Structure 1
Amino acid sequence: MEISAEKTKLMTNNTSGINTEIKVNGQKLETVTSFKYLGSVITDEGSKPEILSRIAQTTATLTRLK
Structure 2
Amino acid sequence: MKLAMLIASHQTQASILLLDEPDNHLDLEAKQQLVKAINGYTGTVIVVSHDVGFIKYLTIHKTIELG
TM-score band w.r.t. shorter chain: under 0.3
So what's the TM-score if we normalise by structure 1?
Answer: 0.28
So what's the TM-score if we normalise by structure 2?
Answer: 0.27
RCO comparison, higher one (Cα < 8 Å, 6+): 2
Higher helix share: 2
Greater C-alpha Rg? 1
Higher strand share: 1
